[in-house]
Amino acid sequence: MSTMTYKDYAARIEYSEEDGCFIGRIAGIRDVVGFHAECVQELREAFREAVDDYLATCEKVGQAPQRPYSGKLMLRVPPEVHARAAMMAEAHGMSLNQWAAAVLSKAS
């Protein structure tokens, strides 16, 4: 599975052997917005069209488009994990938020 991005939206991409094409879906929103294509270039175009169409449709019906995630993340972790993370943040001269964001941005 792979991803692509456009206008702050990300899509999950899969290949369907059965259908012989790539299938994508905008991730991180509750609305279901999908697209498909037979090659990567067509898939990029289909994704952009899907996002643009989604935004235009929302505007036409007077509905605010859903945006992927606010950037606020609350986690519950064991106290020893919290302590270790705080120690690592301090050792790197960062706040816990800065350190966690840096670590999470490297995850794939």
Task: Return the domain boundaries, the chain.
Answer: 2-61, 70-108
Confidence of residue 72 (pLDDT cuts 50, 70, 90): confident
Structure tokens at 13: 């991409």
Proportion of the chain above pLDDT 70, given as a percent: 98
Given this model, what pLDDT does residue 2 score?
77
Given this model, what pLDDT does residue 85 score?
93
Burial degree of 72 (CB within 10 A; 0-12, 13-18, 19+)? exposed
Helix, strand, coil in percent for the chain, rounding step 5: 45, 20, 35
pLDDT tens digits along 3-59? 889 998 999 999 999 999 999 999 989 899 999 999 999 999 999 999 999 999 999
pTM of the model: 0.66
